[in-house]
Chain A
């Protein structure tokens, strides 16, 4: 028997984005751009105070303004049917961002809380009328910063929707500290961060009788559907959510905040479709944030650099409603083999929203503290920082003792260091100077958990008698490139070329996919798409070998290969299209569902990487500029190197922003954010962006999901801020334990 040609590879190719042309030509319609007849525009009014109650609302001038259709306040907005519990949207249930819904009574819990919704016939008129709504408040004292609430800190039983215990540990932390021959202690502070995707959140709501269609900018159409259905008391089948294009999210659209339900309520009130688009400024008070925080670390080690103890405590403000902190102590507790560990979350009830997922939730801050402390420990021990890490690599997950499903960490260190030129480094700080600039280098470890869904992820594959295929799943593409990558997965699994295959997504009418959060998207969606496409391929092969009219009749299905839509067994071949046409079949279809195998519970699952940074510091003027970033990552199977690198570059630049730029300041007197605009909330601009070099380390993972995909949405960010802070120390000899590190810290 002659060897058959392998399937044309689609997975692993740098396919251009399938929707790139639509996006750059403006043909792509985002959720605020849906043209509907008779559409009206809603504008939110946010509370001016951080705590208290509304004593009066004077909406007379607003109601009398030109074009105004309705002014909704707590006095006339319908009551919600039920308030679902807070659950991360990955769980597949309703997923409100906080267990609170506004405008149900007169209480104000945080500044920016919606207190009125104005609906008018144009956006400008709605916005103008919103400025005419006069709200009077009785203000009570508020807590909005750690400093204001430090005395009232408490240790919660659990955080993060009860998924993570407030306190965790292993071994005997006191004994571990007593054994230590070197000890590093540090207290780190972190500014609050906001997401700032290019597309502000928006919902367009349209009722048809008792059926509701929402176009929503979301990471999960089913999360929007289930949340709005619960809030409005609608049967799930009466709510359809469509989200074909989403202009970035970074966690701001991972949970379902108030505006989709408010848009639906407003549309019902005025009897017209309603579009509710948040302003840029409202984005700072409408969809959560990364909380201000402090972390204290004690790190103990033997003289030869083996860790003996890690104590890691975090203090952060949460909302009046939920015990929420981003899970900062996770990867930091698992990345190194350290026998004695204690992790504690402490919270402060504050007058803010419930904080939420913000890119690289938790690990961006927790690994910053650990990796800066590791650098300090290396210095104390006279060890190269990379060598210290190599001495503490763990082959098992220290939290459970389970083996890693795959690692690649050692290769990431080695190959990243080689690309970066780490080994030429003079360990002494302050030695390299170029003109006014002091040059330094630093490194850090990266790791991000592989989060798995707890419910079936579904997809459907259909091939037509002309040989073209469509593969469907509910997931939106919020800029990650998932529609492109899933086209590749479907095409390769079916054995057709990518230009014959289309991926349809972003609609609750399509098979269910959980919200793609926590870097879970590529893994779980590719698993569903692969399962469906494989079922269809197997169905057609099975049909062909059983079909006496087919050249493949009688062949062993296991020997059949498919390439360019042609099934081949030995010298016999027939295309999918011929098989269908000969049998008068217009199409063939199969569904697939995937859930993580129970065996995954016997493994630690993490994406590993290593980060290297070179900075230049003008010590006289306090300027820090990043000159080079190198990251080496082992994300398992890479579905599309181009979109993969894009995600990793983006993550690394978020790390740069976290290290040097991103900070929203709370005004303690008013409880309002001070710089809620893109002029003053600083994110990196092109001029700040250095040469970013990425190395992908191949590791095969047979455990996590069928294609061995571990995800890259967040891991690119982990450790970058620490590598930069460590490089600043190397350049100047100064350790700054706050982020962002700004000019005044360097003077």
Chain B
């Protein structure tokens, strides 16, 4: 770990100004990923601005029915919030299936959006990695890639986006609010906030240096009251998803009136399953249609030999999630 200076900011403007002014600086929120990566020399800022004192931890319903979650709200607080649990069970479940209790108490929602990939080549500061050092290559593609992505991959990067809650937020079309230097604010559509690796896997978000996430806004999504988050992994707790599904479903007379689907563990960003949703709207809620929808969504998958099983597993998980909701017993 390199020598680092550290300061605590009392308000957002000061924090943003400090980081914007110095390309070698970074925000520090819960630190549950960032500090690990500092120790491993994967992240190399010279100056950290601690933003934990900023008043950004409230969870507030909005007049239009949306819910605004402060960027510094802790994962455990959001999971426990009665409005979150009532309106968006998939968010609460995704949070509670993520990390460990200790980490959830510390990790912030804004930090969760910014968390870095778990690819072991990225996290080893001395391996080649296009995300860490553009142009050095991607050893994961022919290396140990069991946990890597099959959707949204490029020949430059196959790292899986690790977040659980971001998968639920993708299904819900949340918006990410930020504040930049000069106090200007911006709201990103969720899909716009997470960039596909393409030929620039080092660029994960459209943010300017020093631009700070202030809140995540979850719109009113009535169908989400009947929703779930299904997470498939080797062990029962404290592991990232091999495959996960955030799903919401409403039926009218056995026909799908509304549906939300997103995938985690299989894609380079939280993966809204648009093709599957399009197929399902108006379709009869039956297994054959669920299977077809899952097939459609995974038809563009590009697996490695080691993670080819994820293509099948993701489809089965989607079918399971939809059947569970269709049969009236979410989670």
Contact = CB atoms under 8 A, between A and B. Distances in A.
A742 B142 CA distance: 21
A743 B236 contact: no
A667 B144 contact: yes
A679 B139 CA distance: 20
B60 to A, nearest CB: 33
A61 to B, nearest CB: 12
A742 B238 contact: no
B126 A48 contact: yes
B234 A661 contact: yes
12 contacts: A48-B126, A620-B316, A625-B236, A665-B144, A665-B146, A669-B143, A679-B118, A680-B120, A682-B235, A685-B237, A688-B236, A744-B309
A124 interface: yes
A128 interface: yes
Nearest to A625: B236
Contacts of B316: 620-621, 747
A131 B143 contact: no
A548 interface: no
Contacts, number: 77
Contacts of A667: 143-144
Interface residues of B, number: 30
Contacts of B2: 128, 131
Contacts of B39: 127
Main secondary structure of the interface of A (DSSP, over half): loop
A687 interface: yes
Contacts of A625: 236
Given A744-B309, A747-B316, 9 more contacts: A128-B3, A620-B320, A623-B232, A625-B236, A661-B235, A665-B146, A679-B239, A679-B240, A684-B235
Given A131-B41, A669-B142, A747 B1 contact: no
A687 B233 CA distance: 13
Nearest to A436: B320
A747 B242 CA distance: 13
Nearest to A686: B237
B312 interface: yes
B317 interface: yes
A670 B147 CA distance: 19
Interface of A: 48, 66, 124, 127-128, 131, 436, 620-623, 625, 660-661, 665, 667, 669-670, 674-675, 679-680, 682, 684-688, 742-744, 747
B307 to A, nearest CB: 9
Contacts of B41: 131
A407 to B, nearest CB: 36
Nearest to B316: A620
Q: Which 8 A-B pairs have the closest CB atoms?
A: A687-B236, A687-B237, A674-B144, A744-B309, A688-B236, A685-B237, A665-B144, A685-B238
B309 A685 contact: no
A743 B314 CA distance: 12
A684 B236 CA distance: 8
B235 A687 contact: yes
Interface string B309-324: 1001100110010000
A200 to B, nearest CB: 14
Contacts of B313: 621-622, 743-744, 747
A665 B317 CA distance: 26
A675 B120 contact: yes
Nearest to B329: A435
B10 to A, nearest CB: 27
A512 to B, nearest CB: 41
Contacts of A685: 235-238
Contact of A127 (B1, B125, B143, B240): B1
A148 to B, nearest CB: 15
A687 to B, nearest CB: 4
A237 to B, nearest CB: 41
A535 B125 CA distance: 60
B139 A682 contact: no
B93 to A, nearest CB: 15
B242 to A, nearest CB: 6
